[in-house]
Structure 1
Amino acid sequence: MTPSDAHDDNAGRWSDLERPPLRAAALRRALVRPGRLWTSLEVTAQTGSTNSDLAARADTLEEGAVLVAEEQTSGRGRLDRGWSAPPRSGIFFSVLLRPAVPVERLGWLPLLAGVATATALSRTAGVDTALKWPNDLLVTVDGQERKAAGILAERAGHGERAAVVLGIGLNVSLRAEELPVPTAASLALAGAALTDRDPLLRAILRSLESWYGKWRTADGDPAACGLLDTYAAGCATLGRRVRAELPGDRFLTGEAVAVDGDGRLVIATEDGVQQPVGAGDIVHLRPAGPSAGR
């Protein structure tokens, strides 16, 4: 038994029968195969952040390393915002990628991960999802869109070993009283037909491998590989009035009209200007009320 499998038989805090442990060995058999993207897969009982762990080992790992945690104690979202959930209540993992594409197209990686996750959940869990630019996945609970997953991409490694660590946190079985904030959600609360984390994780990783392969083959061109159209079709942000809060207490308000070739959100302001903003430029993106002329 490998260290990553050892927790499978743990008792105590890991004995919640409604939340069985992931089967690391079975996941490896299904996903880690010669000639495929995923080169290693480790499941750990607890860690601070899977993104931080992979980033620290980026110079020694091959592309396609996958690290999954049953519990994260210091999970992070964009701008170091916290992400927490009870043990085994979700799917929390990071992957190490070395995409040989133009650097300006790397901003598409979190959007690609959103499309891959949404595609997998629609097919496997029977849940309708929507994407909130740039890195959230929404489900509908009691008629309201709520966040069920977050995505974080970070640079890692040095020189020829430079890489991107892509992390995904998905709430699966959280109950209403366990939600960290009222605007959060889980697959269970959204009425998912399946909440077994093993097939869900397999489906997400296979979908991620497929989309990443098409995107990389197209040299990162989101239009050529179909990613741009697919993202736009599933993006709840487009067509809505938004307020982009920028550093220095600045803000930009208007209608989100498109996502451009570099993954930036294009906002049409009331003075007729179409202004693209990147994920790194935004502190918050919030809904905005109707303009005075509407």
Structure 2
Amino acid sequence: MIGPRVEVERTRALSDAGELRCPCCDEPVVFRAGARVIAHFAHRAGAACALSDDPDYRPESELHLSTKLALYDWVRACFPEAEVMAEAPIPATGQRADLLAVIDGKPVAFEVQCSPLSGEAWRVRHAGYAKAGVRDVWILTGQAPRFVMIPGSERHGLPPSYRFQLRDLAATVLHDTGELLLSWPKVAARDRRREPLFAQLQKGAPASANEKGTGPFFAAISALSAYHARPAPPWRERPFRDSLVISGAYVAASQLAACSLDPAVGLFVGDRHEGQLRAALARDAEVEAVA
């Protein structure tokens, strides 16, 4: 069940009767909802759940819950016939996806990563999804990578470039997959100094008539597309450690309503990003066929 999408009074009654249970440990959970918190389910005090033994587990923040809810509503709107589950178990590996959508028989797991996670821990989870035959889409939210804008050469008609300072998780995801997906709520004017990258990307993102200026916003940094657009590989043969310089042409941003999803490929942040990524993947397939 999705907390904010349940019938409140009926769910409160089930909670008071002790009939709601955790899908992980089967212990009773309580339903909490109010004016200040998003509706959710929580363990009772003193409950012992296997999730609490996971060193990478953190209680869900308001940002994590709201992003997961936005994704849930978006997938349901895009694919009305799809089966969509929150905190869905992956029996083959013992993992649990933040959100799992089964679209035309193809499972897609969404992981919204707000809390710290090491690159090595991510690799284990990413490999687990691959073993289970599940396409995993990882979305980093909370704090943007630090960046410096590098002015482009107007003489050559080049767009500005960015130098990103990447932490371990972002660097690992980007290096291993060639794609980094970021998410954030709409940045208010008062927050633009605190979140300069998000404010800069939001400024250039096309508005969505469906969302009427609301968030969340998504950004994609596509090193894979840049790799195929340059004669010298910028990252595969010379892996970066904590930074990446990439043209603004390969950084896309858009509101969730303007994004699209292909179960076989992943999430596309706007038409431009989709075109670039599909072209890069096609090029990869050509290289593998020749090899």
Relative to the length of structure 2, the TM-score reads 0.33
Report which of the two structures shows the higher radius of gyration computed on alpha carbons.
2
Higher relative contact order (CA 8 A, sep 6+): 1
